[in-house]
Copies of this chain bind each other. A is one copy, B any other.
Amino acid sequence: VENYKNQHKYYIAIDCIIFGFDKGSLKLLLIKRNFEPCKGSWSLMGGFLQPDESLDKAAKRILLELTGLKDIYLEQLNTYSEINRDPAGRVLSAAYFALIDAEKYKENNNGQRKENYNYTARWFEINKAPKLIFDHDLMVADALKRLKEKSAVQPIGFELLPDKFTIPQLQKLYEAINQTEFDKRNFRKKMLSYNILKQLDEKDKAGSKKGAFLYTIDQQKYNQMMKEGFLFLV
A residues touching B (Cβ–Cβ < 8 Å)? 1, 3-4, 7-12, 35-37, 48-56, 76, 78-79, 81-83, 88-92, 94, 148-153, 174, 178, 182, 186-187, 190, 229-233
Contacts and interface: CB of A to CB of B under 8 A. Distances in A.
14 contacts: A3-B35, A8-B48, A8-B51, A10-B12, A54-B81, A54-B83, A55-B81, A148-B231, A149-B153, A152-B229, A153-B153, A174-B233, A182-B233, A186-B233
B11 A7 contact: yes
Contact of A233 (B76, B83, B187): B187
B51 A1 contact: no
Contacts of A79: 55, 76, 79, 94
A152 B94 CA distance: 26
Contacts of A83: 52-54
A51 B233 contact: no
Contacts of A56: 81
A89 B83 CA distance: 24
A7 B49 CA distance: 8
B153 A232 contact: yes
Contact of A231 (B37, B92, B152, B233): B152
Contacts of A12: 9-10, 12, 92
Contact of A92 (B55, B89, B91): B55
A54 B83 CA distance: 6
**Residue among A50, A54, A148, A187 facing the most chain B CB atoms (10 A cut-off):** A54
Given A79-B94, A232-B232, A233-B182, A50 B8 contact: yes
A79 B96 CA distance: 11
A178 B76 CA distance: 23
Given A11-B9, A12-B10, A152-B153, A51 B4 contact: no
A9 B232 CA distance: 43
Contact of A90 (B11, B51, B149, B190): B51
A10 B53 CA distance: 12
A94 to B, nearest CB: 5
Contacts of A82: 54
Nearest to A56: B81
